[in-house]
Chains A and B, each alone.
Chain A
Amino acid sequence: AQSVTQLDSHVSVSEGTPVLLRCNYSSSYSPSLFWYVQHPNKGLQLLLKYTSAATLVKGINGFEAEFKKSETSFHLTKPSAHMSDAAEYFCVVTLYSSASKIIFGSGTRLSIRP
């Protein structure tokens, strides 16, 4: 069975410091993994995706994530947080068979302190 766990419901960092949002997954098959960001009153925007190519994936706005199969993790990082990064972040795992199945994590709210 597939599942995805976002380990922190809320992360708060100071502007200019690194960001780490943690995501662990469980899948019987090779999954595709995504991170989405949702700013207040907005839809979900794709940050980055992993689809069995390079394990280190670079996304928009300076974010990147590393797929670690041995740890079943896909943590999202950014070297230096900006105030505009304050948002909700969702880790998503998909399994593609005859009908794609999408599993959302519960989300991590990122707050940035000035």
Chain B
Amino acid sequence: EAGVAQSPRYKIIEKRQSVAFWCNPISGHATLYWYQQILGQGPKLLIQFQNNGVVDDSQLPKDRFSAERLKGVDSTLKIQPAKLEDSAVYLCASSSVLSGNTIYFGEGSWLTVV
């Protein structure tokens, strides 16, 4: 089966600019996650969707970050305006009860804010 797809893989922007990342989960996976991973640290959950509803966005900086999953399939994560400390890898993951709730990750979108 196809894995979790993310794009773009790499992005360099200036601070105060905006950026958007796209994720297409594994087909049929109801749960979708966005994680932020700063260099040298473990992933931090930004937002979790169950179908098109938000389950957990407690660690999402809502003044600058937004995410949507309008049709319960693919998702977009937006940062506006970006700050230097947003430089990180943004990992999308998905899971399904039918696949034993194993979480599958994409390759990540690497953001550098200069």
Contacts and interface: CB of A to CB of B under 8 A. Distances in A.
A49 B100 CA distance: 10
Chain B interface, >50% SS class: strand
A46 interface: yes
Interface stretch (A21-29, A64-72, A75-83, A97-105): A97-105
A105 B95 contact: no
Nearest to A104: B42
Contacts of A42: 107-108
Chain B CB within 10 Å, residue with most, of A96, A102, A107? A102
Interface residues of B, number: 23
B72 interface: no
A99 to B, nearest CB: 4
Interface stretch (B13-21, B48-56, B61-69): B48-56
Contacts of B101: 32, 51, 94, 96, 100
Interface in A35-67: 36, 41-46, 49, 51
Contacts of A90: 42-43
Nearest to B9: A41
B113 interface: no
B33 to A, nearest CB: 8
A43 B41 CA distance: 13
Chain A CB within 10 Å, residue with most, of B42, B100, B108? B42
B74 to A, nearest CB: 17
Nearest to B91: A43
Chain B CB within 10 Å, residue with most, of A51, A100, A105? A100
Given A44-B91, A44-B105, A100 B31 contact: yes
Interface in B28-82: 31, 33, 41-43, 45, 48, 50, 55-56
B104 interface: yes
A96 B97 CA distance: 10
Contacts of A99: 48, 50, 55-56
A43 B106 contact: yes
Given A96-B101, A102-B45, 8 more contacts: A41-B110, A43-B107, A44-B43, A44-B93, A46-B102, A99-B55, A100-B101, A102-B103
